[in-house]
Structure 1
Amino acid sequence: MMLLMRTLYTAALATAFAVAASAQFGRPAMTPAQERYLHAMEKADLAIQAENHTHSQLMQNEEYLTTEIGPRLTGGANMQHASQWTLEMFRKYGLKAHLETTHVAHSWTPGVATAVLLSPWHKVIPIAAEGWSKSTDGPVTGPVVIYNPGDPVDPAAIKGAIVLEGPPNSRNVAPDAQFPNSYDSVIMPPTGVPDYAAMQRRMAEFRAMMSGGPNPLAGAAVVIRDSGKPWGLFSIGGAGRYAPSQVPTATLGHADYSLLYRMIHNYHNHPRMTVNLGGTFSAGPEPASITVAQIPGTEWPDQQVIVGGHLDSWYLGQGAVDNGTGAMATLEAARILSALGWKPKRTLTFILFTGEEEGGVGVDTFVKNHLAEMPKTDAVLIDDVGTGCIESIPIEGFYNAMPELSQVYQPLKEVFALQPISTEYFGASDHVAFQRQGIPAFLAVQAEAHYREEHHSQIDTFEMVDAKQANQGAAVLAAFLWNVSQLDTPFPHHKPSPGRGF
């Protein structure tokens, strides 16, 4: 779905590129009021930058989050600990803060995962369970077979088998690959002519499985996916949506997955494996909280500007850069603006979401709880793509808001050496829920900073955090908030569209 939607949005945005480009080169002619605003925001943004450089607590908070709390699966004890701790930190920094809590059907605690190739030769293979995977009933042994998603299923062929989910995922495994930004390093822009019919078939199958509908691989002993990363790194995703998957599901490193595929496809071998996937589920629903903090506005307190990032993570690493850095940058932005003691015209809202990795339950909770406030939410900026510095803010199709965004962006560009406003569409994060309400909501464009390797993998750890770049992101979030809050006119909205984004 991600590739399909990016293809469609790219085509639409290309037609509007010339409109956006006109605001990118040099300073456009400004009214006296706009000149005054620009100079005031330049001064403010420099002060924000200085406060961050001098007194930042981002790395101290990041270390606590990743060391004392650890990885944070939605609905789990670590995630709730993180929500409570960030609530206390926002209050410590002088903000009004509270938790908003929903419930997920089950939390999941991963267990031991092992795999051994028995024939045609012996090899211990590293393996990791996908999130909310059903456990095996102890070690299970069976033949390894290939199933290509979208193809008809032979129930007899997969019954009791270890099933490889299609050919190796080789799109993004080149060790020396380079990308223009961190988002593109994990969700690669489509190339060539897309096979829309095949993509839609695969997505229909995926949606059905994640919603508890029929799984074409029911009866298999284990389903195995290719992590699609270099260096033997894993890439964890979801197998069930807060409930046990119908089939135990795991991921292998790309080299091991490719090995099994070659044995069958190229050499017509009949490999056999033993796999054991552990893990436990809560008996019933568990709480899942988001942390919300605010600095109230003075002139238009009923209007708000939002920045945020998700606090939940996957389990193999420590949730350091996906998305500990985005969450701690949001917390640091709150500290900066509170420390400066300024009084914004509009209310500044800081949100640390849960459940981004599993369908956006946190942001959906916030939107549902504050639906009446959505028409007066001016703009949203989300930090969710690693430790890399913020390099741009994308227009995300909100070209009607280009005059306002250009005013906000010009001082940011000058103070933080940003690139021009991006015309690429970025989905797949918490900002999409706000876009569906018609709100100009943006996902920060960030430097690559090894995000491809860290994303959802076992090296998403504190050691991978780049302090300088993460702090720059915090300062940009704070400056964006302040600049938007001081505009004389609000950002225009689109008509709400439930189907927008993905």
Structure 2
Amino acid sequence: QVDEPHIRATIAHLSSYTNRFYLSTHGQNAATWIRDTWLALGNGRSDVSVALHTECTTCGIQPSVILTIQGTDLANEVVVVGAHLDSIRAGAGNNTQQLAPGADDDASGIATVTEVIRIALASGWKPRRTVQFMGYAAEEVGLRGSKSIALKYYNNQVNVVAVLQLDMTNFHIGVPYHFHLISDNSSNPLRAFSKSLFDTYLAPRGLARRDLSCGYACSDHASWTNQGFPAVMASEPGSASNTFFPKLHTPDDTLAMLGGTAQASTVFALFGLAFVGELGKTHDPNLVYRNSFENLPAGILP
């Protein structure tokens, strides 16, 4: 069961660091905390591992974090769900003491990913495909952590069948929709599948989605798209006057400024569970990924 207090607590902790800048010890410590938190959620399961990706030569002292749930009979097919773990204050340059709490951007995304991990592992879930959850370093300075990982996977010919990026999930004021699916730098078939997924699992709960173009690379999904992997990005619904949280990249990107709640992020945790549940191949053994996205079988959510 998706639990708003769990998501809120993760946002609160991550936004308590002075910043999560890629050159600062704060940003390094935040990555270590995410690793330790995810490792604890694995609870010693032999098919769950957590590693730091330290091969990025332009990510300063900040590693990316990767939790892997090893697949069973389709282990060579990989599903990725990620968010970026760093933060930045606009105009602060390389000041390692800049005040950049980054509650929405993107502690909310990491907290949402963490909640998907928590629920999936607490249920004893075992996917047929390998599922990886990633916290990317140095996104704010050019998608550097995800670029490093996506390039490594391309060079190693890893069969990544789908990637979901969650960037800013917790700002929702007064608009009748709850979820933006970003059109930029995304896979058309995977985006169509994601709409079908939302309509199957979330629409019956009274939730609504909308398409959005952000007009640039937007987030780490672009790194995967650039290496030829199918990727999509989901983001917050915003408000009537602001598509995204207007306090991003400022000292006011705090949980308090987001209303002190993580309710908006619960929608993205539900979607993330549906995404890994279906694409991780929990169900019908006759549905195997080939060149497009499979039909929706019965799923993991009630």
1:411 aligned to 2:200?
yes
1:66 aligned to 2:20?
no
Residue pair 1:300, 1:345 contacting (<8 A) in 2 also = yes
Q: In 1, distance between residues paired with 2:71 and 2:232? A: 22
How does 1:353-364 map onto structure 2 within 5 Å? 353-364=136-147
Q: Secondary structure at the match of 1:52?
A: coil
What is the aligned-residue identity percentage? 23
Partner of 2:93: none
How does 1:83-482 map onto structure 2 within 5 Å? 83-94=31-42, 95-102=48-55, 286-314=60-88, 315-372=98-155, 376-388=159-171, 391-394=179-182, 398-401=187-190, 404-405=193-194, 407-419=196-208, 422=211, 424=213, 427-448=217-238, 451-465=244-258, 466-482=261-277
Which of 1 and 2 has greater Rg? 1
Q: CA deviation at 1:406?
A: 5.3
What 5-or-longer segments of structure 1 have no aligned partner? 1-50, 106-241, 243-285, 494-502
Cα shift readout 1:119-142 (whole Å, capped 9, x = no counterpart): xxxxxxxxxxxxxxxxxxxxxxxx
Partner of 1:10: none
Q: In 1, distance between residues paired with 2:129 and 2:154? A: 18
Q: CA deviation at 1:312?
A: 0.4
Residue pair 1:316, 1:456 contacting (<8 A) in 2 also = no
Q: In 2, distance between residues paired with 1:402 and 1:490? A: 16
Q: Secondary structure at the match of 2:208?
A: coil
Q: Secondary structure at the match of 1:479?
A: helix
For 1:86, the aligned partner's letter is I
For 2:139, the aligned partner's letter is E
Q: CA deviation at 1:347?
A: 1.4
Q: In 2, distance between residues paired with 1:361 and 1:307? A: 17
Q: In 2, distance between residues paired with 1:101 and 1:415? A: 42
Q: 1:86 to 1:452 in 2, by over 3 A?
A: closer
For 2:9, the aligned partner's letter is Q
Cα shift readout 1:189-230 (whole Å, capped 9, x = no counterpart): xxxxxxxxxxxxxxxxxxxxxxxxxxxxxxxxxxxxxxxxxx
Q: CA deviation at 1:418?
A: 4.2
Partner of 2:298: none
Residue pair 2:104, 2:245 contacting (<8 A) in 1 also = no
Residue pair 1:413, 1:420 contacting (<8 A) in 2 also = no
Residue pair 1:71, 1:319 contacting (<8 A) in 2 also = yes
Cα shift readout 1:164-197 (whole Å, capped 9, x = no counterpart): xxxxxxxxxxxxxxxxxxxxxxxxxxxxxxxxxx
Q: Secondary structure at the match of 1:358?
A: coil
Q: In 1, distance between residues paired with 2:270 and 2:8? A: 14
Q: Secondary structure at the match of 1:287?
A: coil
Q: Secondary structure at the match of 1:453?
A: coil
Partner of 1:234: none
Q: CA deviation at 1:372?
A: 4.6
Q: 1:403 to 1:317 in 2, by over 3 A?
A: closer
Q: Give the paired residue count.
A: 262
Higher helix share: 1
Q: CA deviation at 1:471?
A: 2.5
Partner of 1:237: none
Instruction: Please point out which of 5, 27, 30 is paired with 1:79.
Output: 27
Partner of 2:291: 492
Q: In 2, distance between residues paired with 1:77 and 1:381? A: 28
Cα shift readout 1:341-375 (whole Å, capped 9, x = no counterpart): 12112111100001111011100121133225665
Q: 1:420 to 1:86 in 2, by over 3 A?
A: closer
Partner of 1:52: 2
Q: 1:92 to 1:400 in 2, by over 3 A?
A: closer
Q: In 1, distance between residues paired with 2:13 and 2:132? A: 23
What 5-or-longer segments of structure 2 have no aligned partner? 43-47, 89-97, 173-177, 293-302
Cα shift readout 1:102-130 (whole Å, capped 9, x = no counterpart): 4656xxxxxxxxxxxxxxxxxxxxxxxxx
Residue pair 1:384, 1:429 contacting (<8 A) in 2 also = yes
Q: Secondary structure at the match of 2:64?
A: strand
Residue pair 1:75, 1:104 contacting (<8 A) in 2 also = no
Q: 1:72 to 1:424 in 2, by over 3 A?
A: closer
Q: In 1, distance between residues paired with 2:69 and 2:231? A: 20
Q: Secondary structure at the match of 2:211?
A: coil
Tell me the C-alpha RMSD between the 2 structures.
2.7
Q: In 1, distance between residues paired with 2:71 and 2:265? A: 27
Q: In 2, distance between residues paired with 1:490 and 1:326? A: 27
What TM-score do the two structures reach when normalised by structure 2? Answer: 0.76
